[in-house]
């Protein structure tokens, strides 16, 4: 009897030691927290006056919401500490705009890609444009230590042993791009998405050439036998892409990144200083009355007239907000060339267009469609949405509607809809330009308060809602 008892106890201990551990996905749900290491960067995670934004922040937040937990974002002092945070288990995974490179795959495993980039050699416009990578030998080339850029340069060095660069520990790509702007260094390497966002504000940055083939960006997980959380992330990203939501989010951050050329940006910044002060009080007063961000109104006004109150188009629209006679009469605008009346009338007209957009469409898509309708007319916008639906797209997503608006200029398509022919590419460029101008106004406003002729500044609301 005693031997049987001992045997039974040993069996229990053996079974307990061989028990299957709780899957990581369940443990994350039980803890209510998803630990993710990222980095502070315009392409990943950044703080604004209205809260946190960034592509990685948004994607991770959606994933955490699907799991029913809260995301906890972790940061490292240097870029090359990101992957060790993953391999050590301090973070469940990294969402930091990481390229899935061969060198990194030996340390971590990557999910499906959600975006593709190339590595680009960047220089200042006053510097002689390099034609090949060895042209950098006459200047200073700096990259982020532990980055995919340093990994790529090491590969190139195998073919060109004379290639030299400096790897910096305590900086990120954004800071190195700023050093190029300030001409403190001659060259750097950055991902194409980072360059696109930086060039909106610094048109003096120039791209010499790509130094890599397109590379996928993905989330980095540790190599482990427990695939539960990794598989959940794979499923989430696949579903996000299939639904069209991923394209919509990427468009939100990058859809307008290259809408303005260097000359457009320079001219706009000059007009901010020279023209805007005379009218900013009116934009802010219109913002008070309508709830529309005054900087968005100013961006629309600039796209319409370059803030010229006497502007007249060949079709007869006039003033800063380029109102038609019919619209001006309906809005009670007595003089379309009166800046105050034009701006206030234009702001109210924007609200009228917005009211026609189906309420089920969320912002910012509703905002972009409102602007497109302001430009081309609500009827033509509806025609484009019908074409989008006919061709299997989602008529409630701007990223899909903007691809179908240009069809309104083609006979085979405009003859099948109610309002006929229209120059459908114009509202697409119109919306993207306004988004670009708005971002520049916010950037300038954050650097220093934009002056007004009289009066004082007022708080503004988010441009994502009207």
Residue pLDDT, tens place only, 208-236: 999 999 999 999 999 988 999 999 999 99
Question: Is the pLDDT reported for residue 449 higher than 70?
Answer: no
Q: 21-114+217-254 falls under which CATH superfamily?
A: Periplasmic binding protein-like II (3.40.190.10)
CATH number of 119-212, picked from 3.40.50.880, 3.40.190.10, 3.30.1330.100, 3.90.1200.10: 3.40.190.10
Lowest mean pLDDT segment, chosen from 39-43, 254-258, 293-297, 325-329? 254-258
Question: Is the domain covering 262-447 a CATH 1.10.530.10 domain?
Answer: yes
Sheet with 141-144, strands from edge to edge, namely 166-168, 141-144, 187-191, 119-124, 205-210
- Cα separation, 278 vs 20, whole angstroms: 71
**pLDDT on residue 259:** 78
- Sequence-separated (6 or more) residues with CB below 8 Å from residue 253: 43, 54, 55, 197
Q: Taking Cα atoms as reference points, which of 283, 412, 402, 297 lies closest to residue 350?
A: 297
Question: Is the pLDDT reported for residue 21 higher than 90?
Answer: no
- Cα separation, 212 vs 187, whole angstroms: 16
Q: Do domains 119-212 and 262-447 have the same CATH topology?
A: no
**pLDDT on residue 466:** 64
Question: Is the pLDDT reported for residue 105 higher than 60?
Answer: yes
Residue pLDDT, tens place only, 236-277: 999 999 999 999 999 888 888 777 877 788 899 999 999 999
Tell me the CA distances in angstroms from 447 to 204, 300, 366, one per residue in order: 18, 21, 29
Tell me the CA distances in angstroms from 379 to 56, 64, 112, one per residue in order: 36, 40, 40
The domain locations on the chain are 21-114+217-254, 119-212, 262-447
Question: Is the pLDDT reported for residue 303 higher than 80?
Answer: yes
- What's the chain's average pLDDT? 89
Task: Give catalytic residue positions.
Answer: 304
> Residue 107 in 3-state DSSP?
coil
Q: What percent of the chain shows pLDDT beyond 90?
A: 76
């Amino acid at each position: 009897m005693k031997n049987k008892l001992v045997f039974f106890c040993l069996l229990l201990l053996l079974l307990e030691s061989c028990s299957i551990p709780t899957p990581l996905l369940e443990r994350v749900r039980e803890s209510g927290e998803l630990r993710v290491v990222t980095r502070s960067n315009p392409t990943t995670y950044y703080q604004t006056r209205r809260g946190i934004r960034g592509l990685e922040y948004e994607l991770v937040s959606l994933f955490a919401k699907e799991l029913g937990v809260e995301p906890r974002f972790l940061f490292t002092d240097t870029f090359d500490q990101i992957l060790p945070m993953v391999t050590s288990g301090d973070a469940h995974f990294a969402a930091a705009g990481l390229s899935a490179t061969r060198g990194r795959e030996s340390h971590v495993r990557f999910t499906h890609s959600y975006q593709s980039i190339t590595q680009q050699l960047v220089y200042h416009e006053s510097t002689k444009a390099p034609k090949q990578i060895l042209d950098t030998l006459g200047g200073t080339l700096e990259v982020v230590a532990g980055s995919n850029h340093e990994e790529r340069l090491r590969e190139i060095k195998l073919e060109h042993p004379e290639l030299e660069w400096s790897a910096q520990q305590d900086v990120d790509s954004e800071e190195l791009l700023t050093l190029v702007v300030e001409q403190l260094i001659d060259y750097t390497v950055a991902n194409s998405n980072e360059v696109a966002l930086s060039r909106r504000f610094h048109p003096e940055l120039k791209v010499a050439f790509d130094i890599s083939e397109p590379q996928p960006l993905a989330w980095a997980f540790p190599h482990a036998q427990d695939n539960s959380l990794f598989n959940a992330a794979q499923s989430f990203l696949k579903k996000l892409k299939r639904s069209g939501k991923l394209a919509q989010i990427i468009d939100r951050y990058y859809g307008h990144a290259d809408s303005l050329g260097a000359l457009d940006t320079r001219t706009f910044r000059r007009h901010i200083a020279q023209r805007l002060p005379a009218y900013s009080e009116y934009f802010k007063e219109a913002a008070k009355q309508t709830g529309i961000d005054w900087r968005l109104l100013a961006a629309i006004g600039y796209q319409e007239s370059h803030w010229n109150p006497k502007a007249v188009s060949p079709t007869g629209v006039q003033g800063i907000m380029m109102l038609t006679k019919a619209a001006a009469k309906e809005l009670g605008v007595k003089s379309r060339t009166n800046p105050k009346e034009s701006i206030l009338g234009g702001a109210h007209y924007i609200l009228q267009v917005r009211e026609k957009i189906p309420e089920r469409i969320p912002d910012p898509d509703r905002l972009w469609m409102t602007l497109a309708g302001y430009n081309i007319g609500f009827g033509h916008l509806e025609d484009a949405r019908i074409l989008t639906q006919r061709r299997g797209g989602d008529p409630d997503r701007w990223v899909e509607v903007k691809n179908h608006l240009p069809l309104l200029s083609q006979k085979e398509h405009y003859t099948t809809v109610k309002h006929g022919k229209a120059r459908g590419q114009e509202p697409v460029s119109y919306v993207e330009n306004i988004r670009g101008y708005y971002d520049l106004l916010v950037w300038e406003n954050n650097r220093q308060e934009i002056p007004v002729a009289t009066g004082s500044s007022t708080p503004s609301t988010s441009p994502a809602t009207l």
